[in-house]
Structure 1
C-alpha cells in the first residue's frame, strides 16, 4: 500500500533498551509518594490507578498535577527509537496516529505544531508534520505535558471532545475549526480536509499495530463502536474504509474475547506468526506494503 495510514501503540518501543511501562509506573509512584503507600496491581485499570496515585499524592504531598505530568513527559522523552521506528518511516505513511507521548516515530523533535487548533489539554487536532507525513498524537505529547492523557478524568474529557467533533458539533472559538460535526459535513457533502485524526477513521483504511486496545481505552472503543453503528445500524453516512488490527499469532487464543469484539466492530484481524518481537513488526510492515 502506498502512503498508508497507521495507528501505532507503545509496544514498538519495547524493542528499545531502557525503561519499560512497569518501570515508569514504579517511578511515578516513587515521585509522588516516596513512602510507597500505593500498591501496583494488574487488576487496577490504569486510568483509575493514576487517579489513585494522584489523589493520594495531592492529599499527602500537596503535589500539583502539572508537576506530575512534567515528570512523566521528562521520563518518556528518554525512550530511544529503534530500527522499527525507522522502518515505519520508510513506508512513507501519509498519516501516523499514535497513543505514544514521545517522538520516536518522528525520529526527531518537531520544530512546530501544525494543528488547526492549538490545544492545551485535549487532542482532537494535535498534529506535527515532518516531510510528507502527518503525525497525530491522539493522547497528548511530551512537549505539552498537560495534554498527556492518563487519568479517568482526562479520558472523560477527551471522549467528550471527540463526540462533539464527530456527532454534535464543536464550540471552538477559532474561525478555522469546523463548527458542524463530522457526520453533518459528510451528510451535506462538504469537504472533509483531515483537520482532525478523527476524520481518518471514516475516510481512510487504517492499519493498527503495537496497540493492545485494552478496554480502558474508552475513547478509541467508543470511536470504533460509533463508526460500526453508522455503517450497520444508522446508515446516515457512508462508511467504506477498512480497519486492520495486527496481532502475534501466539496471543490470539488469549485475546479471543477482544478479537471477537473487534470483529463485531468491523475491524479485520490479521495474526502473524514470528519468533520474536522485531521479526513480528517487520512482517507487519511487509503485509502493509502488500495490501
Structure 2
C-alpha cells in the first residue's frame, strides 16, 4: 500500500461558520475602493482578482503588497473546527492545502523548512508541525507576497512547476535534486523535496476543494501526470482520489469526466451537513 497524502481545500472551513469567499471578495472590493467592480459568478476568480487590483491600481496606484497583506489579515481570523482537529489527529505524513491560513496546523509555523527560500512562489514551501509536513501550495499568510490569487501569479506558479517536472531546476541549494522529476521518476530518484513529488509517489486524497478550472496549476499537474503514465508509460503507480457530495455529481459530470480520463478516482458520499459529510470522508481515508 502506498503512503498517503491529503490535498485540502477551503470548504472544510465552511463546515462551521467562517469567512466565506463571497464575504472576503466584498471586503477586498471595499478595501480597494472599487465598488464599480461586479462580483459575477461567471468571472473566474483569478481574473476577477486582476479586475479588482487593476481597477484600484489605475484609480489610486494601490500597492499590491498592501492588498495581499490585508487579505492575509482577513483569512488569519479563520479558526480550527472539528474537521481540522481530526485531520491533525490522523497524523498523516504530508498535508497539502490551497488555504493560506494555519487552521489545519492549529498554530502558526515557526519557520519555513523548504529547501529553497521562495518569496513569491510555492513549489518547495513547507513547514513541520508535530509528525506532519504541511505544504501551502498557493502561498501562506506569513508571507503575503506568496498568496496566489491573480492570473499573473497563477501563470508564474505554473511556470515554476513545469520547470520542476519537465526540465529540472538550477537552484544552488545543497542537497536538492536538480534533475527533472520526469527523469527522476524514470530512474527511481524521487524524494519529498517538493509537494509536487507527492502527486506521483503517494495516494493523494483531495477534498474540500471545488477544483474548478481556474485552478490551472493543479489541472496542468493532473494532465501531465496522466501523459507520463499513459503515453510515456513511466512507473507511476499511486492513486488519486477526489471526494464529492452525491447530490453534486450530476451537475459536475463534465468535471468528473475530465478527472476520470486523467486517472483520478471519484468517491462520493451523501451530504446531510458539512460536518457529517467530512466525517464520512475522513472515516473512509482512515479505513484505507
Structure 1-normalised TM-score? 0.96
- Kept in 1, the 8 Å contact 2:229–2:236? The answer is yes
1: CA distance, partners of 2:154 / 2:57: 20
2: CA distance, partners of 1:179 / 1:123: 17
- RMSD value over aligned CA atoms? 1.3
Q: How many residues align?
A: 288
Pairwise CA distance, 1:274: 3.1
Classify the secondary structure of the residue corresponding to 2:133: strand
Question: Which residue number corresponds to residue 267 of structure 2?
Answer: 270
- Kept in 1, the 8 Å contact 2:97–2:137? The answer is yes
- Kept in 2, the 8 Å contact 1:97–1:136? The answer is yes
Classify the secondary structure of the residue corresponding to 1:244: strand
- Kept in 2, the 8 Å contact 1:16–1:80? The answer is no
**Deviates further, 84-93 or 140-149:** 84-93
2: CA distance, partners of 1:290 / 1:24: 36
Classify the secondary structure of the residue corresponding to 1:13: helix
Q: Structure 1 regions of 5+ residues with no counterpart?
A: none
Question: Which residue number corresponds to residue 194 of structure 2?
Answer: 196
2: CA distance, partners of 1:78 / 1:3: 33
- Kept in 2, the 8 Å contact 1:4–1:92? The answer is no
Question: Which residue number corresponds to residue 51 of structure 1?
Answer: 50
Q: Structure 2 regions of 5+ residues with no counterpart?
A: none
Question: Which residue number corresponds to residue 88 of structure 2?
Answer: 89
Pairwise CA distance, 1:37: 1.4
- Kept in 1, the 8 Å contact 2:2–2:238? The answer is no
- Kept in 1, the 8 Å contact 2:122–2:138? The answer is yes
2: CA distance, partners of 1:187 / 1:43: 41
Classify the secondary structure of the residue corresponding to 1:170: coil
Classify the secondary structure of the residue corresponding to 2:74: helix
- Kept in 1, the 8 Å contact 2:2–2:201? The answer is no
2: CA distance, partners of 1:2 / 1:238: 13
Classify the secondary structure of the residue corresponding to 2:40: coil
2: CA distance, partners of 1:177 / 1:231: 25
Pairwise CA distance, 1:189: 3.0
Pairwise CA distance, 1:30: 0.4
Question: Which residue number corresponds to residue 105 of structure 1?
Answer: 104
Structure 1 segment 1-291 matched on structure 2, within 5 A: 4-33=4-33, 36-190=35-189, 192-235=190-233, 237-291=234-288
Q: Deviations over 1:190-225 (max 9, x none)?
A: 3x2200000001100010000000000000000000
**Deviates further, 194-203 or 173-182:** 173-182
Pairwise CA distance, 1:175: 3.0
Pairwise CA distance, 1:2: 9.7
- Runs of 4+ with >3 A deviation: 1-4
Classify the secondary structure of the residue corresponding to 1:101: coil
Structure 1 residues 3 and 183, CA gap change in structure 2 (3 angstroms): closer
- Kept in 2, the 8 Å contact 1:17–1:80? The answer is no
